[in-house]
Amino acid sequence: MTKNIYKVLVIVIAVGSVLSGCVEQKKDSVNYFGGTGDIQYCERVNGRNVLYDDENIYITFKHEALLRLDKNNELNVNCMIATCLHDTQECKAAVNAGEYFIFNNKLYRFYNESSISQSSIIYSGFIKDCQNNDIVFDNPVPEEMDEGKKIDDSTEIYYVRVINEDYLKVEGHRHAYILDKNFEVICMYDDVGKFPWGTLYEDKYYYINDLYQLVNVNIKTGESEVIELENNCFLGGAYKDYIFYSDEFEDLYRYSLKDKEKCKISEKVAFFSIYDGYIYAEGGQNKNKRIMDINGNLIKDYTEYTNMVCSDSFIKIRDMIYCTYENGIAMMKEDGSDYKEIVWEQGGV
């Protein structure tokens, strides 16, 4: 999903993983959402993140509110006040309150505040510590950015991505910062692409820029390098020592970070996610959907799962894969078995 689509269809799940899969980062205090057990975090390849605990998954559905999917697969708004409109920062089901994530065992939230300047609406982004409500980062426009790019940039935050226990990425309209565990800027880049995907390998952070090129930036020196691949990168993913990307012709490639070699492993792949060695792919004229291994071998065709859509926005929690669709949540096990749909009954609390 692009940045514009992300503002319409949202889902909160997180994965604090450098490459793929789910690294369980836990909150070190009382469960903020009133659930049971530590809050954990999962990230999607594209789109917003998701939180979960021992019994619940916290999912934002369209513009409604933050929903709670419990262990009995029942969906409810994560708010017990029947008259609440879920539109203030005090309500823990408020979608406009921003996106939650866990970094170094603490729960944070990023959000954007609006103001009017010369008849234009300006958005300013902030990251807040949920435990003490302190602002830990305010996303300034980089001073070193080219003046021509500064004019088109803003302090609004589009995405936050937990890279690992030491690093965090904050992405805006034109710029992205890599922050350390103290929320200090260690490097930046100003050729942000359409999708928030990225991965750290050794000291280099890889991402797809606004020219659909695979680029790495050395987080210690700030130096950037374009990886010559002879084709454009549309969407990216990573697993172990490999980067996977689809191009403008919907061909899927695997690039070795060790050997610096690429090979084509599949066709008709416009969108995909990778979790634990499974590639969930979607593409072609008929929008065929399938699960493959990292060599492109077919494991299962799941085209019949009508509402298992937007494979680049899948969420993996434990052994289940989740996604949102028009009327609710669809899910299946990571091997494609045990498909289910849960309909969201609008208006309930």
pLDDT at 61 over 80: no
Q: What is the pLDDT of residue 348?
A: 45
pLDDT at 3 over 70: no
Over residues 59-63, mean pLDDT: 70
Q: Does the residue 147 lie in any domain? A: yes
Q: Does the residue 178 lie in any domain? A: yes
> Nearest Cα to 161, choosing from 314, 20, 323?
20
Q: What is the pLDDT of residue 204?
A: 97
pLDDT at 11 over 50: no
More confident residue, 64 or 279: 279
What's the token pair of residue 40?
């954990």
Q: How far is 64 from 331, CA to CA, in rounded Å?
A: 20
Predicted TM-score (pTM) of the model is 0.86
Instruction: Give the range of the structural domain holding residue 205, as residue numbers without chain letter.
Output: 104-210
Q: How far is 170 from 112, CA to CA, in rounded Å?
A: 13
Q: What is the pLDDT of residue 64?
A: 64
Q: Does the residue 128 lie in any domain? A: yes
pLDDT at 1 over 80: no
pLDDT at 180 over 60: yes
pLDDT at 2 over 60: no
Q: Does the residue 146 lie in any domain? A: yes
Q: Are 101 and 52 in contact (CB under 8 A)?
A: no
Q: Does the residue 199 lie in any domain? A: yes
Q: How far is 275 from 239, CA to CA, in rounded Å?
A: 8
pLDDT at 347 over 80: no
Number of domains the chain is built from: 1
Q: Are 55 and 73 in contact (CB under 8 A)?
A: no
pLDDT at 304 over 90: yes
More confident residue, 30 or 23: 30
Q: What is the pLDDT of residue 29?
A: 47
Q: Are 212 and 193 in contact (CB under 8 A)?
A: yes
Task: Provide the pLDDT confidence category of residue 4 given band limits of 50, 70 and 90.
Answer: very low
Task: Provide the pLDDT confidence category of residue 41 given band limits of 50, 70 and 90.
Answer: confident
pLDDT at 20 over 80: no
Q: What is the pLDDT of residue 346?
A: 64
pLDDT at 337 over 80: yes
Q: What is the pLDDT of residue 207?
A: 97
Q: How far is 27 from 45, CA to CA, in rounded Å?
A: 22
Q: Does the residue 306 lie in any domain? A: no
Q: Does the residue 205 lie in any domain? A: yes
Helix (H) or strand (E) holding 169: strand 168-171
Q: Does the residue 250 lie in any domain? A: no
Q: How far is 57 from 70, CA to CA, in rounded Å?
A: 6
Q: How far is 32 from 341, CA to CA, in rounded Å?
A: 28
Task: Provide the pLDDT confidence category of residue 12 given band limits of 50, 70 and 90.
Answer: very low
Over residues 105-116, mean pLDDT: 89
